[in-house]
Amino acid sequence: MKLPVSWMREFVDVAAEPAAIADRLASCGFEVASIDGDVIDFEITANRPDCLSVYGLAREAATAFDVNLKPSSAAKDRPGPASIPVSIGDAGCGRYAVALAQVKVGPSPSWLADRLTAAGVRTINNVVDVTNYVMIETGHPLHAFDVGRLAGPEIRVRRARPGETLTTLDLVERKLDDTMLVIADRERAIAIAGVMGGTSSEVAGTTTHVALESAWFLPASVRSTSRRLGLKTEASARFERGADITAPVRALARALELFEQIGAGAAVGGISDVYPRPAEPRRVELRRSRVGHLLGDQVPDADIQRILGRLGFGLTPASDGWQAEVPAYRVDVSREADLIEEIGRHWGFDRIPATFPSLHSPPREMSPAVARDRMLRRVLCGAGLQETCTFTFIEHDAAAPFADGSALVEIGNPLSEKFAVLRPSLLPGLVDALVYSRRRETDDVRLFEVGAAFRPTGETTRVAWLLTGARANHWSGNTGLVDFFDAKGVAEFIGEALGRPIVARATDARPWFIPGRAADLFLADAGGGPVGSVGQLRADLIAARGLGQSGAVVGGEIDLVALAPGVIAASSRIEALPRHPSIVRDLSMFIAERLPAADVRGTIRSAAPATLVAVHEFDRYQGKGVPDGCVSLSVRLTFRDRDRTLTDAEVQRAVETIVSALAAQHGAVLRGRAE
């Protein structure tokens, strides 16, 4: 709202400079966008349509500077016989007033044109300019129809008919529907109620008589129509936020006064005013104690009365405060808290002493999921992965390969195709981030993200990671490139961090991974389906995102809700350290190449006595000296008893049993036995 200060001074005697007025009103809730000479541009919040006017801001200034507000010049009524018949056929119109005026269309006098220009309104002709002038001054939108071009003449307020069209003043043919309220003459729509007039009754040089409309429309109705048509106007902005239902006749009288003042025309007859259900004044109770309670400051009665009085509220003393009558232009005030805000605004938030809420019950614990994610981020950073934040909505083509057999969640009104669907997985975002960095001078990338992923069944929190390039980079030598086991190691590490051990089983059901280098992840000590997967990403998926030669890209993803709803105290018990030495035996054997190490481990464990405390693979070799279709697998077996020292002989017997079991179940052939 551009406010020419000289215009405002017609209503309020504030001598301060525009900059000082701007500062003062800014501290009362009217943010200043700019000051240009005499004109202050205020950002008016959606709750204050009354301040989309010179008079409304003058009232605020009168309150802020504690000076009198002069009455608007034309308060006088214009009695007389109704000039144009009006019928309201829909509750979306609460009041419709119209006056007939004989006019001589021409240019506006310069003082009027200059004020409109300063307020940011284009001048058109004296008749239209007067309607705009009154809107800027009073906040109430008016519209002038060329009566000579109306059928009747008659005004009917009704819903648009299906298929009805209207060419609006911006020369666009609008298709209307029956949710929209129109102003019509006897035959057709002539304006979209509260939004914009039509060209068919536009005031032109040949116009001799105008019907001046001053109405009140239901905010929701105007807003809905404006939105459906994608058409926002000065009028719709005021009506949809809430116009003053008591203003229409006053605004008409002001327009007629201006017509006469500038020689643009004169009223013919009186004002037709259809106002089926006059609004009752709103009364709101204001308790003295509640003011102090909510603001945290005791505002003296005199100041409460001064502030609310200047803002136009009528106060009647009551036992514990006042009964406030809310002026009709304050559509935003319906509760005690609203009145207290008015007091606070003009009393000054800065004067209210800063206090601190007292704590009289223990703070509640952090939500387990929040604690889990905070911990997991730190753990993964410590493990050498960089946290990323990628967009939640992504391209359809980026998401589709990771949909995992379910439909994608689509956005109905996306900004662009780049943000069309919600990510079904965090991996596509990480792929794009990896590609982005690889194309910008970074060869070794290790990323992770914790966040939501989306399915038609709902959202869930996940962690995903993606690695490529060297394991480490140091002048002393090459440490090798990342492979499947780096990705799997991250999964195992996450499981350990959250106290939920993870095991992997080969899968061919995750098509974004290379066959043979993909595994589903399961909780080691609970049943149930997979909680995630790891693998090496298909090169064509990486290439499709813009990186042709990538080298191995490995990664994985875990559903954190399935893995651990909260942080689980990992190993809450610590075992006493062994008091007796352990005996270690290494076995190297040829086994079938496709036999999983997990099976070998399982066989060893079931064949071994309880004194076998650890099995761990330390070498896997294929090539010279190993029969075709076989690998050489070496495992280290650790035996220990809690209560005594084991003998070589009994360990030897255990090893023999294990070796026989391996031979029997897997055809394993022992290569040799290292000491």
Partner 1 sequence: MSLVEDLRTQFQTALASATTLAAAKAVRDEFLSRKQGRVTALLKAIGSAPAEERKTLGAQANALKQEIETAIDARETALAATAAPPGAVDVTLPGRLPLAGRRHPLTQVRERIEDIFLGMGYQIIDGPELEDDWHNFEALNMPAEHPARDMQDTLYLTTPVPAPGGRLATLLRTHTSGMQIRYMEANKPPVRIIAPGRVYRRDDIDATHTPMFTQVEGLVVDEGISLGDLKGTLNTFAERFFDKDIRTRFRPSFFPYTEPSAELDVQCQGCNGRGCGLCKHTGWIEVLGCGMVHPAVFEAVGYDANRYTGFAFGVGIERLALRLYGIDDIRMFYENDARFLRQVAL
Residue 268 or 369 having the CB closest to partner 1: 369
* DSSP letter assigned to residue 645: P
Q: Which sign, positive or negative, has the C-alpha torsion 430, 431, 432, 436? A: positive
Q: Which sign, positive or negative, has the C-alpha torsion 577, 579, 581, 585? A: negative
Least distance in Å: CB of 262 to partner 1? 34
Residue 198 three-state SS: strand
Least distance in Å: CB of 392 to partner 1? 6
**665: Cβ contacts below 8 Å, ≥ 6 apart:** 603
Residue 144 or 333 having the CB closest to partner 1: 333
Residue 77 or 410 having the CB closest to partner 1: 410
Residue 352 or 670 having the CB closest to partner 1: 352
Least distance in Å: CB of 433 to partner 1? 4
Structural element, H or E, at residue 208? none
Report how far apart, in Å, the C-alpha atoms of 356 and of each of 296, 353, 359, 453, 519 are: 10, 10, 9, 39, 54
Residue 131 or 390 having the CB closest to partner 1: 390
In b/e form, how buried is each residue of 548-581, taking b as 16+ CB within 10 angstroms? eebebbbbbbbbbebbbeebeeeeeeeeeeeeee
Residue 185 or 395 having the CB closest to partner 1: 395
Residue 301 or 338 having the CB closest to partner 1: 338
**For 32, what's the count of Cα atoms within 13 Å in the CB-facing half-sphere?**
17
* DSSP letter assigned to residue 4: E
Give alpha helix (H) positions in 1-125.
5-8, 18-26, 54-65, 110-118
Residue 3 or 431 having the CB closest to partner 1: 431
Least distance in Å: CB of 372 to partner 1? 10
Query: What would the DSSP string read from start to end of 306-371?
Result: HHHHHTT-EEEEETTEEEEEEPTT-TT--SHHHHHHHHHHHH-GGGSPP------SPPPPPPHHHH
CA 215 to CA 197: how far, in whole Å? 13
* Structure token digits, residue 441: 């001078």
Least distance in Å: CB of 346 to partner 1? 9
Least distance in Å: CB of 378 to partner 1? 7
CA 565 to CA 372: how far, in whole Å? 8
* Structure token digits, residue 198: 């039509």
Least distance in Å: CB of 258 to partner 1? 29
Least distance in Å: CB of 502 to partner 1? 21
Residue 111 or 356 having the CB closest to partner 1: 356
Residue 144 or 482 having the CB closest to partner 1: 482
CA 195 to CA 459: how far, in whole Å? 41
Least distance in Å: CB of 496 to partner 1? 17
Query: What would the DSSP string read from start to end of 503-543?
Result: EEEE-S--TTEEEEEEEEEEETTS-SS-SEEEEEEPHHHHH
Residue 159 or 345 having the CB closest to partner 1: 345
Look at the block and give the residue holding tokens 């005594």. 644
Residue 47 or 73 having the CB closest to partner 1: 47
Instruction: Of 454, 461, 452, give the one whose Cα is nearest residue 407.
Output: 454
Q: Which sign, positive or negative, has the C-alpha torsion 290, 293, 299, 300? A: positive
Least distance in Å: CB of 649 to partner 1? 45
Residue 392 or 611 having the CB closest to partner 1: 392
Least distance in Å: CB of 642 to partner 1? 36
Query: What would the DSSP string read from start to end of 543-606?
Result: HHTT-S----EEEEEEEHHHH-SS---TT-S-PPPPSS--EEEEEEEEEETTS-HHHHHHHHHH
Q: Are 158 and 152 in contact (CB under 8 A)?
A: no
Residues in the chain, overall count: 675
Q: Are 533 and 520 in contact (CB under 8 A)?
A: yes
CA 491 to CA 502: how far, in whole Å? 7
CA 432 to CA 414: how far, in whole Å? 20
CA 562 to CA 570: how far, in whole Å? 17
Least distance in Å: CB of 618 to partner 1? 23
Residue 23 or 508 having the CB closest to partner 1: 23
Residue 140 or 209 having the CB closest to partner 1: 140
Residue 313 or 639 having the CB closest to partner 1: 313
Least distance in Å: CB of 367 to partner 1? 5
Least distance in Å: CB of 340 to partner 1? 7
* DSSP letter assigned to residue 495: H
CA 398 to CA 427: how far, in whole Å? 10
Least distance in Å: CB of 463 to partner 1? 13
Degrees to nearest 5, angle at CA 215 with 209 and 220: 140
Least distance in Å: CB of 459 to partner 1? 6
